[in-house]
Structure 1
Amino acid sequence: MAQTNSSEAKSGWLLISPPAIYAALLLAAPLATVVIYSVLTGEKGAVSLPFTIENYTELVQKPIYRVLMGRSLMISFLVTLATVLLAYPIAYYVSFYVKPSKKALWLFLITIPFWTSYIIRVSLWRTILGYDGIVDSIVMGLGLSDTQLNILSNGVASIIITLAHAYAPFAVLPIFVSLEKVDRSLLEAGQDLGESRWMTFLRVTLPLSLPGVIAAVLIVFIPTVGDYVTPELIGGGKTPMIANLMETQMLKQRDQAMGSAIAVAAMTIVAVISLIFVLLNRRFLGGRK
């Protein structure tokens, strides 16, 4: 019996070895390199010994790093909120009101934006939100305003709109999967007991779909904190986020050590916030059970 378990264990290790090695080479090795670089001395476009924590000391002492990190977190929180509020009704409609035979078609249509380059989608929003763009033409054509709105001039607002659109499909899919798992008989039971549709949604549907909402929040929040392209193209570089500062340190200042320290600090902050969010929601969901 023990010999059988040993052979099964060896077979299991052989099966997971290729993907484990692949993940280690593509994920763990680069991450370890960034962490090591962050505690080295950076000069003249290279890193060298001795080890030092001066990079992290500078991060704490200089206000510019705190400002950009705070702006990145704020924008990411707002983008996540807007994206989930946009995605939930779409996922709910597809799950509860679309015929089962047509749900695949709807999901296919939702993923169509992925067919085009992310940069092209961001550039199109410049045309929509910019001066004398589509929004300005519609507003002035309807007589709602005598002046150009030029939403693009408001860097934060334009970045939030663009990112919310770009990440909406990422939020729709996990929420849809979660809603599909909701037992419809529970909803019927709630209405049979005299609950309105709205109260049934609040007491049954929404709590049961929270795992999908949590997944959507994390899927959107984590990458948007480190988004680089949108602030550069939409904000015109006038509303930089933490990723833009990393690019400046790495490529323009050629200070790989400082750029790595910024990356490690940003990853740590995002990881802590995400972990706290998951633990709080796990406790909430566990309490409801």
Structure 2
Amino acid sequence: MAKTVSAEAKTGWLLVAPPGLYTALLLAAPLATVLIYSVLTKVGGQVGLPFTLDNYTEVFTHPIYRAVMLRSLTVSLLVTATTVLLAYPIAYYVSFHVAPSKKSLWLFLITIPFWTSYIIRVSLWRTILGYDGIVDSMLMGVGLASEPVNILANGVTSIVITLSHAYAPFAVLPIFVSLEKVDRSLLEAGQDLGESKFMTFLRVTLPLSMPGVIAAVLIVFIPTVGDYVTPELIGGGKTPMIANLIEVEMLKKNNKAMGSAIAVAAMMIVALVSVVFVLWNRRFLGGRK
């Protein structure tokens, strides 16, 4: 028996060894390099010894770094909230009100934005939100504005709108999967006991679908914090976020130590927020048992 278990263990290690090595080379090694660079000292145009934590001190105390960090978190939270609030009704409608034979078609239509390049989609929003663009023409056409509003000039607002559109399908799909797992008999039982449809939704459907909601939050929040393309194209570089700041430090200022420290600090903040949501998710999963 022991020999059989040992043989199975060896077979398992052999199976996971190639992807494990691949992960170590492509993920762990770059991350370790960034961590080491973040505690080095800039000497001229290079980085070297001694090790120091001054880079992290500057990241959290310098007003520019703190402002960009706060803006990135604010934009990401706004995008996450907007995306999830818009995605939930869509996922709910497809799950509860679309015939089973047509659900695949609806999911297919939801993924249509993925057919085009992300950069193309961002560039199209420049035309939609820009000066005398589609939004301005519509507002002036119906008399809601006497002159172009030029939403694009408001960097944060235009970035939130663009990112919310880009990540909408990522939020719809996990929420839909979670709603599909909701036992319909529980909803019928709630209404048989005298609950209204709205109260049944609040007390049964919403709590049971929260794992999907939290998954959608994480899927949207994590990548939008470090988004580089949208602030660069939509904001015109005038509303930088963390990724843009890292690019400036790494390439333009040739300060790899500070750029690495900013990247690690951002990862720590994202990890902390993610852990909070994961623990919250475990609470709902525990409630199902």
Poorly superposed stretches of 4+, deviation over 6 Å: none
State the 1:94 CA deviation.
0.9
Give, in whole Å, the separation in 2 of the partners of 1:257 and 1:6: 46
CA RMSD of aligned residues (A): 1.3
Give, in whole Å, the separation in 2 of the partners of 1:199 and 1:288: 19
3-state secondary structure, aligned to 2:42: strand
Unmatched tracts of structure 1, length 5 or more: none
The yes-or-no answer on 1:3 pairing with 2:20 is: no
State the 1:287 CA deviation.
5.6
User: In the TM superposition, what are the counterparts of 1:136-285 in structure 2 within 5 Å?
Assistant: 136-283=136-283
3-state secondary structure, aligned to 2:148: coil
**TM score, norm. by length of structure 2:** 0.96
Give, in whole Å, the separation in 2 of the partners of 1:284 and 1:96: 21
State the 1:56 CA deviation.
1.4
Unmatched tracts of structure 2, length 5 or more: none
Give, in whole Å, the separation in 1 of the partners of 2:181 and 2:118: 31
Give, in whole Å, the separation in 2 of the partners of 1:241 and 1:84: 22
What is the percent sequence identity of the aligned residues?
A: 79
Q: What are the superposed Cα offsets for residues 89-145 of structure 1, whole Å, 9 maximum, x if unpaired?
A: 111111111111111111111111111111110000000011100000011111111
Give, in whole Å, the separation in 1 of the partners of 2:159 and 2:12: 46
Give, in whole Å, the separation in 2 of the partners of 1:188 and 1:220: 33
Amino acid in structure 2 at the alignment position of 1:214:
I
3-state secondary structure, aligned to 1:217: helix
State the 1:205 CA deviation.
0.6
State the 1:281 CA deviation.
4.0
Give, in whole Å, the separation in 1 of the partners of 2:45 and 2:173: 43
Amino acid in structure 1 at the alignment position of 2:178:
S
Residue 34 of structure 2 aligns with which residue? 34
3-state secondary structure, aligned to 2:200: helix
The answer to whether the Cα contact below 8 Å between 1:158 and 1:234 also exists between their aligned partners in 2 is: yes
3-state secondary structure, aligned to 2:247: helix
Q: What are the superposed Cα offsets for residues 7-56 of structure 1, whole Å, 9 maximum, x if unpaired?
A: 11111111111111111111111101100111112244432222222211
Residue 87 of structure 2 aligns with which residue? 87
User: In the TM superposition, what are the counterparts of 1:11-22 in structure 2 within 5 Å?
Assistant: 11-22=11-22
3-state secondary structure, aligned to 1:146: coil
The answer to whether the Cα contact below 8 Å between 2:163 and 2:230 also exists between their aligned partners in 1 is: yes
Give, in whole Å, the separation in 2 of the partners of 1:60 and 1:96: 47
Q: 1:284 to 1:106 in 2, by over 3 A?
A: closer
Moved more, 163-172 or 34-43: 34-43
